[in-house]
Amino acid sequence: MSDPVEPPPTGHMRVLITGAAGFLGSHLCDRFMADGHEVVAVDNFITGSPDNLAHLFGRPGFHFIEQDVTNYLYVEGRVDGVLHFASPASPVDYLEMPIPTLKVGSLGTHKTLGLAKAKNARYLLASTSEVYGDPKVHPQPESYWGSVNPVGPRGVYDEAKRFAEAMTMAYHRYHGVDTRIARIFNTYGPRMRPGDGRVISNFIVQALRGDPLSVYGDGSQTRSFCYVADEVEGLYRLFHSAWTDTPMNIGNPREFTVLELAELVRALTGSRSEIRHHPLPTDDPAVRQPDIGLARRELGWEPAVGLEEGLKKTIPYFRAVLEQETGARARVLADG
């Protein structure tokens, strides 16, 4: 039975965000707080970092719960929205943690949907472009069912998100939960982890260190890169919209080859790093480009930050992180 919940004050919401200490989750916390909403942040720090939320601790309206969301989640008081962003989300993470990835997509989604049902809260699932697998349709519209290898090494992430989408729509149809599903395409910006294995963070870190840039295959595979501020704006609009019918692509439709990205990163960092080619990983998608016609029509949203501009905003962050790491190592050696 659902809790009797008082309606929120006009213009004010109390939202719960899982994966709040992660890259995207922490930026979402910032956005809701900036607009005067109350945030209950949940994370177990399996891939997230307390540093991403340090500036919010102690602020009125911000609350933190350290917990694995695959376990029963109790939240006292009113909850108007649940945004489920908890999951390992980079190849390095979900290949090293396949079982936790599957559990957070299944059990974690079940627990957070149960909370939304109990609190009569709106629900937003962070899904992914990986549900399209190695697509046979290009660009990818929401109506495309995808081409996924369920037993390949990437399947733990792809299928966890596909299951999460199915669970979300089941709660919407059977229990009447007010749900939204965002299919997120490659996103980048400050607060990415230097070692997370994503192509932009890999290239920037390698370029700044003077290491060879690792390009898999011949680099002709394409990706579409969305700057984090644009991504958060799209997600925020989707959450506040009335759209519940289908998942929605939230990403940048401008397509680049991986080799083009490597050359651009090298130019913007002033690096002399060589480009070194490696064998393609198993089931690596050949193309990735969102059809965002639905988001344009229903949300009035499209990305505003181009790749070069976004990289110029991102590179100083990584430079500062690497300088901090170098300084920490030097202090350890000095104290040794």
Determine the pLDDT at residue 334: 64
216 belongs to a structural domain = no
155 belongs to a structural domain = yes
Asked if residues 130 and 115 have their Cβ atoms less than 8 Å apart, the reply is no
Among the listed residues 132, 157, 171, 227, the single catalytic one is 157
8 belongs to a structural domain = no
31 belongs to a structural domain = yes
Which CA distances in Å does 229 have to 17, 187, 243, 261, 302?
17, 9, 21, 20, 11
222 belongs to a structural domain = no
Give me 98's structure tokens.
């396949």
Count of domains in the chain? 1
Per-residue pLDDT tens, the chain, 336 aa: give them.
334 344 444 468 999 999 999 999 999 999 999 999 999 999 999 999 999 999 999 999 999 999 999 999 999 999 999 999 999 998 889 899 999 999 999 999 999 999 999 999 999 999 999 999 999 999 999 999 999 999 999 999 999 999 999 999 999 999 999 999 999 999 999 999 998 889 999 999 999 999 999 999 999 999 999 999 999 999 999 999 999 999 999 999 999 999 999 999 999 999 999 999 999 888 888 899 999 999 999 999 999 999 999 999 999 999 999 998 877 665 666 666
Three-state secondary structure of 120-151: CCEEEEEEEHHHHECCCCCCECCCCCCECCCC
Determine the pLDDT at residue 326: 75
Determine the pLDDT at residue 284: 84
The helix (run of H) or strand (run of E) holding residue 184 is strand 179-184
212 belongs to a structural domain = no
Which range of residues forms the domain containing residue 124? 14-188+227-252+290-304
Q: Taking the CA atoms of 47, 52, 58 and 63 in sequence, report the sign of the dihedral they define.
A: negative
Determine the pLDDT at residue 4: 39
Q: Show Cβ contacts of residue 278 under 8 Å, excluding neighbours closer than 6 positions.
A: 214, 215, 216, 217
Which CA distances in Å does 283 have to 73, 103, 133?
35, 22, 8
Characterize the bridge pairing of strands 81-84 and 122-128: parallel
5 belongs to a structural domain = no
Determine the pLDDT at residue 329: 63
157 catalytic per annotation: yes
CATH code of residue 97: 3.40.50.720
201 belongs to a structural domain = no
Asked if residues 113 and 123 have their Cβ atoms less than 8 Å apart, the reply is yes
